[in-house]
Amino acid sequence: MKRFILRRLVAMPFLVLGIVTAAFLISHATQGDPLISVLGDRQMDNPEVVAAAKARWGLDRPLPEQYLVYVRNLLTGDLGISIRTKQPVTRDLLVRLPATLELVIAAMIVGSGIGIALGVLAARFRDRPFDHFSRLFALIGSSLPVFWSGLILLFIFSVKVHWIPGPGRLDARTTPPDFVTGFYTVDSLIAGDFGKFLDALHHLALPALVLGWAVMGIISRMVRASMLDVLSQDYILAARARGAREARVLFHHALRNALIPTLTIIGFSFAYLITGAVLTETIFSWPGVGSYAVNAARNLDYPAIMGVTIVGGLAFLITNLITDIAYALADPRIDMK
Amino acid sequence: MRTDYRPNRRRAMLVAATMLTALGLGGGHAASAAEKPLVIARDFDFNSLDPARAWCDSCQIYLTNTYQTLVRLAADNHTLLPGLAQKWESNADQTQFTFHLDPQAVFSDGSPIEAKDVKWSWQRLHNIKGGPSFMMDGVKSIETPDAHTVVVNMDNPNSEFLGILTASYTGVVNSDVAMAHGANDHADADKTDTAEAWFLAHSAGSGPYVLADYKPDDEVRFKANPHYTATKVGISEVVMKNTKDAVAQAQMLENGSADVAMQIDPDTAKSLPADKVTTEIVPSFNFVYVALSPGAKANKVKLTKQVREAFADALDYKGIIQFTVGGAGKPQPAPIPNGFPGTANLPVPHQDLAKARELLKAAGHPDGFSIDALFPNMNVYGVDLSLLMQKVQQDVARVGIKVNLQPVEFSVWRSHISGDGIPLTAVFYAPDYYGSGQYVQYFAMSEGTAWWKRAGGKVDPSITNPAEGKLLQKALASPESAKDGVYHQIALDMINDKIIMPLVSPSLVLAYGKSITGVRYSACCNLPIDEISRK
């Protein structure tokens, strides 16, 4: 196991370099001029102003030189300055990543928790009304575009029945807690401000549900299929013959084995949501990495595009590794060599 | 009547229990009703908070409320009022302007505002070579004979200079404070000034508010400037909250989590409940236009004057306004906003299909022709440019002109327009200050203007109209009373060019909570927050 992890860790920097090179080439090959977001349309016709801006952002240098400078800075942990926000990209990401992680973790808790429960019960009550209901629920969650379900649920729960606050991570009139982890729920607890904690939690509920619903469907269907497979095994029959209670059979004997393929889905969903939560972040005015990525792409903000790509790539690599390890822990028969 | 979102524990418990098994807690926390901060929901387009580098609509709001200009624009959007300058005078040929500063005016740190700060701010604005640096173009020298007098000498007459000074980018910066954090006004400031990062966390002006906190893509927090005395500030704390979507902005207004929004489209505004939200639809000075570029490489036919006229005559101007903004907009005859100098009584364009067909026939295209249209894929001031271009496509198809639509990102559009040119495009313009000269400098077909280059003036000199440039010089040398007539003639010439065809000046929806008063749209500054208060 140790050798496997070490091998993966050693390969990681090379994979990151590949991602960096591909992202650099693709973003710079795109037709477009990032200086429009710095100077505005009018000044783009002023050669003196454009030349000054190019020099400031290093865009006057040959592309290979720009690449080498970027990689050299990257080795020292410097991701550059965002052309759009004018802040160091590292700082931008450090501020936004906790917002996205808080949302994605909450969404994964909702999606996995409810998805697994639905999957287990759907398998147990196969072809009965609950199974049909869970299938429909999963189908709706997976099919509805997040921008639509988000707006509709906001309208119902925020505007009409006032159960949920509006968009944002906190009430707009509330000052955010001091930055410790960047998770407002955690930071407000650290600050001892329980009111702010409840406000943060309350704001988190709906976007987490909307985002979690999208992955809930896949997880519940995957668990159902695996559970049906496992429930037909002899050892389940044996457990029942020994008089084990049904809940124990389902959750202790069957679910543990049925969860193994689901772990992969959960792992990939997590990595996907870190960079893919953009629509939810937009609808709920959630200042996370997803919306940062979209703004970076739209404005051709090269340093930000590169930064997000590296973070996204790392997220996939790390979650992949964790998933493989979890896989091995869940099923000792899997050989990690 | 309930207008605010007021969470309570029972509701929260119910929501959390049903929605978040693992997060089985709920509740809420809201600021106290008394002295509630004002929340403005807005789709952020900030690119800086440095007055010499910022260039965007949100920037105008930020700068207006943290920095003061020498001259202000009155609520009627054309009268000039004293700002930091108590009075001013200009010489007869509009080449020298003398400003007398208010000796009582102080920055937010309590230090006096002096002529040296004005000189330093404007020199820096020019030398940084940022988005707004053109505002100081033509300034030959700035003299400060005493601490409260500023004399500006221009290279050429510029009767618009006072109007330019209402633009928030010309706001006066506390030079001592800014220099202590890396700013300078030297000729090489574009390379040596390192203060932009500092300006992202601090303001150094004398406006009604100071910057309390800025989180890019999230929020800007303002606190009242204790040393500001020019007007009575109604609300002591203001939050601008980034809210991308117009529907989300409307929802925030409806549930009380925002107080003001000014980017809601007219259709969405109709859904706002009148008992909770006040909506005003006011004319704006923004406009969306289509442009033909006879010099673009991709042209399949020569876009002669006759062809361009035919294209303009084929457009259903009324229908376009109805189709794009549901009628909440005005036609605009010339590429100078309605209400600006010279625009009174201009001929309003209308569709004339028979004339368009005749012109095409005379131009040798009785069956029409094909043209590529590349345009930014964006929704701007409530106008979806893709929707607009679909309508244009339908209109001109009636006379046989086939338009191939190619929506692209704005940055991509920009490199095309300054590269090989674009045969047909759609784009927008918003004012930076009250004055028609900026539009002539940008849209006229006199040599060297932005649109003369884009339309291919070098490739097709037939589009050049030197008279417009000469008339502009005359307008800039004219006293206030004589400017209108000259700009009117320029506007007629620009209409006649048939290069720029304004299609709609979309109305602006000002939406705000019932307890709010004092919200208005400003041509130079977007939203003067200090005028807003609670009833």
Comparing alpha-carbon positions, the chain B residue that sits nearest to A281 is: B244
Could you tell me the two tokens for B446? 């006199």
Q: Can you tell me which residue has the tokens 């700009």? A: B487
Stretch among A289-293, B16-20, B436-440 having the lowest mean pLDDT = B16-20
Burial letters for A304-330: b for 16+ Cβ neighbours within 10 Å, e otherwise?
bbbbbbbbbbbbbbbbebebbbbbbee
Phi, psi of A224 (to 5 degrees): -60, -50
- pLDDT averaged over every residue in chain B: 91
Using a CB-CB cut-off of 8 Å, the residues of chain A touching B244 are 282, 285, 291
Distance CA B15, CA B41 (A): 25
Choose the closest CB to A36 out of B12, B255, B410.
B410
Alpha carbon of residue A291 to chain centroid = 12
CB–CB of A31 and B412 under 8 A?
Answer: yes
Confidence of residue B10 (pLDDT cuts 50, 70, 90): very low
Same domain as B87, residue B67 = yes
> How many Cβ pairs within 8 Å bridge chains A and B?
219
Is 80 exceeded by the pLDDT of residue A2?
Answer: no
Could you tell me the two tokens for A168? 């944002």
CB–CB of B47 and A43 under 8 A?
Answer: no
Query: What integer pLDDT is reported at residue B25 of this predicted model?
Result: 39
Comparing alpha-carbon positions, the chain A residue that sits nearest to B449 is: A45
For residue B511, tell me if it sits in a domain: no
A287: contact with B, CB 8 A cutoff = yes
For A200-233, write each residue's pLDDT tens digit: 999 999 999 999 988 888 889 889 999 898 888 8
> SS3 of B143, please?
strand
Higher per-residue pLDDT: B211 or A316:
B211
Could you tell me the two tokens for B190? 């574009």
Same domain as B232, residue B99 = yes
For A303-322, write each residue's pLDDT tens digit: 999 999 998 888 888 888 88
For residue A143, tell me if it sits in a domain: yes
Best residue in A163, A289, A292 for a mutation probing chain B (most B CBs within 10 Å): A163
Is 50 exceeded by the pLDDT of residue B9?
Answer: no
Q: Can you tell me which residue has the tokens 């006072």? A: B162
Same domain as B206, residue B81 = yes
Contact between residue B436 and residue B475 where contact means Cβ atoms under 8 Å apart: yes
For residue A301, tell me if it sits in a domain: no
DSSP state of B473: H
Helix axes B305-314, B385-397, angle to 10 degrees: 110
Chain B closest-CA separation from residue A262 CA (Å): 19
Please give the average per-residue pLDDT across B108-112, as a whole number: 96
Same domain as B373, residue B229 = no
For A237-247, write each residue's pLDDT tens digit: 888 888 888 88
What is the count of structural domains for chain B? 3
Comparing alpha-carbon positions, the chain B residue that sits nearest to A37 is: B47
Chain B closest-CA separation from residue A129 CA (Å): 20
Same domain as B88, residue B8 = no
Using a CB-CB cut-off of 8 Å, the residues of chain B touching A164 are 15
Distance CA A211, CA A115 (A): 13
Is 70 exceeded by the pLDDT of residue B408?
Answer: yes
Q: Which residue range(s) make up the domain with B14?
A: 1-30
Stretch among A317-321, B226-230, B472-476 having the lowest mean pLDDT = A317-321
Same domain as B522, residue B489 = no
Distance CA B243, CA A287 (A): 10
> SS3 of B517, please?
strand
Higher per-residue pLDDT: B485 or A6:
B485
Sheet containing strand B500-506, strands side by side: B329-330, B500-506, B287-292, B424-429, B370-376, B402-408
Choose the closest CB to B129 out of A48, A167, A174.
A48
Which of A73-82, A202-211, A323-332, B306-315 has the highest average model confidence (pLDDT)? B306-315
For residue A39, tell me if it sits in a domain: no
Choose the closest CB to A158 out of B21, B255, B411.
B255
Is 50 exceeded by the pLDDT of residue A162?
Answer: yes
Choose the closest CB to B29 out of A38, A151, A199.
A199
For residue A73, tell me if it sits in a domain: no
Please give the average per-residue pLDDT across B29-50, as a whole number: 79
From B486, B525, B436, select the one nearest B61 (Cα to Cα). B525
**How do beta strands B38-42 and B260-261 pair?**
parallel
Please give the average per-residue pLDDT across A74-83, as a whole number: 93
* B295: alpha, beta or left? (left if phi > 0; alpha if psi -120 to 50): alpha
For residue A89, tell me if it sits in a domain: no
For chain A, percent of residues with pLDDT exceeding 90: 40
From A33, A35, A85, select the one nearest B130 (Cα to Cα). A35
For residues B453, B454, B455 and B459, what is the CA-based torsion angle, rounded to 10 degrees?
A: 50
Query: What integer pLDDT is reported at residue B12 of this predicted model?
Result: 43
Sequence-ordered alpha helix ranges (H) in B42-146: 57-66, 115-127
Q: Can you tell me which residue has the tokens 């500092």? A: B198
Same domain as B127, residue B162 = yes
Using a CB-CB cut-off of 8 Å, the residues of chain A touching B31 are 171, 173-174
Could you give the maximum distance between any two Cα atoms of chain A, in Å?
A: 85
Using a CB-CB cut-off of 8 Å, the residues of chain B touching A141 are none
B13: contact with A, CB 8 A cutoff = no
CB–CB of A106 and B23 under 8 A?
Answer: yes
Distance CA B37, CA B480 (A): 41
C-alpha angle A34/A38/A41, rounded to 5°?
Answer: 85
Distance CA B246, CA B232 (A): 31
Higher per-residue pLDDT: B417 or A2:
B417
Please give the average per-residue pLDDT across B245-251, as a whole number: 87
10 Å CB burial of residue A297 (0-12, 13-18, 19+) is: middle
Comparing alpha-carbon positions, the chain B residue that sits nearest to A33 is: B411
Query: What integer pLDDT is reported at residue B145 of this predicted model?
Result: 97
From B308, B306, B309, B338, select the one nearest B321 (Cα to Cα). B338
B275: contact with A, CB 8 A cutoff = no
For residues A261, A264, A269 and A274, what is the CA-based torsion angle, rounded to 10 degrees?
A: 160
Q: Which residue range(s) make up the domain with A239?
A: 97-289
Distance CA B402, CA B213 (A): 51
To which H or E segment does residue B533 belong? Answer: strand B533-534
Comparing alpha-carbon positions, the chain A residue that sits nearest to B42 is: A285
Contact between residue A336 and residue A328 where contact means Cβ atoms under 8 Å apart: yes
**For residue B356, what is the domain's CATH number?**
3.10.105.10
Using a CB-CB cut-off of 8 Å, the residues of chain A touching B20 are 106, 109-110, 205, 208-209
Could you tell me the two tokens for B57? 């609509």
What is the count of structural domains for chain A? 1
Stretch among A253-262, A289-298, B373-382 having the lowest mean pLDDT = A253-262
Sequence-ordered alpha helix ranges (H) in A76-193: 89-124, 129-143, 146-154, 184-190
Burial letters for B115-138: b for 16+ Cβ neighbours within 10 Å, e otherwise?
bebbbbbbbbbbbbbbbbbbbbeb
Alpha carbon of residue A57 to chain centroid = 30
A165: contact with B, CB 8 A cutoff = yes
Confidence of residue A334 (pLDDT cuts 50, 70, 90): low
Comparing alpha-carbon positions, the chain A residue that sits nearest to B20 is: A110
Confidence of residue B24 (pLDDT cuts 50, 70, 90): very low
For residue A306, tell me if it sits in a domain: no
Query: What was the ipTM of the complex prediction?
Result: 0.82
Distance CA B517, CA A261 (A): 59
Stretch among A326-335, B181-190, B195-204 having the lowest mean pLDDT = A326-335
Stretch among A40-54, B2-16, B165-179 having the lowest mean pLDDT = B2-16
Confidence of residue A141 (pLDDT cuts 50, 70, 90): confident
For B307-325, write each residue's pLDDT tens digit: 999 999 999 999 999 999 9
Using a CB-CB cut-off of 8 Å, the residues of chain B touching A196 are 29
Distance CA B253, CA A280 (A): 20
**For residue A282, what is the domain's CATH number?**
1.10.3720.10
Higher per-residue pLDDT: A333 or B370:
B370
Same domain as B16, residue B96 = no
**Whats the size of chain A, residue-wise?**
337
Confidence of residue B23 (pLDDT cuts 50, 70, 90): very low
- pLDDT averaged over every residue in chain A: 88
Could you tell me the two tokens for B402? 């086939």
Confidence of residue B230 (pLDDT cuts 50, 70, 90): confident
CB–CB of A171 and B31 under 8 A?
Answer: yes
DSSP assignment of B255-286 equals HTS-SEES---HHHHHTS-TTTEEEEEE--S-
Is 50 exceeded by the pLDDT of residue B6?
Answer: no
**How do beta strands B96-101 and B370-376 pair?**
unpaired
- The half-sphere exposure of B402 on its side-chain side, counting CA atoms within 13 A, is 8
Q: Can you tell me which residue has the tokens 């299929």? A: A225
DSSP assignment of B50-76 equals STTT--SHHHHHHHHHHS--SEEE-TT
Higher per-residue pLDDT: A142 or A203:
A203
Please give the average per-residue pLDDT across A10-26, as a whole number: 90
Query: What integer pLDDT is reported at residue B27 of this predicted model?
Result: 40
From B308, B331, B181, B286, select the one nearest B508 (Cα to Cα). B286
10 Å CB burial of residue B430 (0-12, 13-18, 19+) is: middle
Q: How far is CA A221 from CA A117, A131, A213, A253, A268, in A?
A: 11, 10, 13, 19, 16
Beta bridge partners of B510: B280
Q: How far is CA A237 from CA A227, A234, A254, B188, in A?
A: 13, 5, 11, 83
For residue B158, tell me if it sits in a domain: yes
For residue B380, tell me if it sits in a domain: yes
Confidence of residue A260 (pLDDT cuts 50, 70, 90): confident
10 Å CB burial of residue B30 (0-12, 13-18, 19+) is: buried
Distance CA B150, CA B152 (A): 7
For residue B259, tell me if it sits in a domain: no
Please give the average per-residue pLDDT across B484-510, as a whole number: 96
Chain B closest-CA separation from residue A261 CA (Å): 23
For residue A250, tell me if it sits in a domain: yes
Same domain as B207, residue B105 = yes
For B328-361, write each residue's pLDDT tens digit: 999 999 999 999 999 999 999 999 999 999 999 9
**Whats the size of chain B, residue-wise?**
535
CB–CB of A87 and B22 under 8 A?
Answer: no
CB–CB of B129 and A166 under 8 A?
Answer: no
Comparing alpha-carbon positions, the chain A residue that sits nearest to B431 is: A42
From B352, B413, B343, select the one nearest B385 (Cα to Cα). B413
* B307: alpha, beta or left? (left if phi > 0; alpha if psi -120 to 50): alpha
Could you give the maximum distance between any two Cα atoms of chain B, in Å?
A: 76
Please give the average per-residue pLDDT across A188-205, as a whole number: 94
Query: What integer pLDDT is reported at residue B231 of this predicted model?
Result: 82
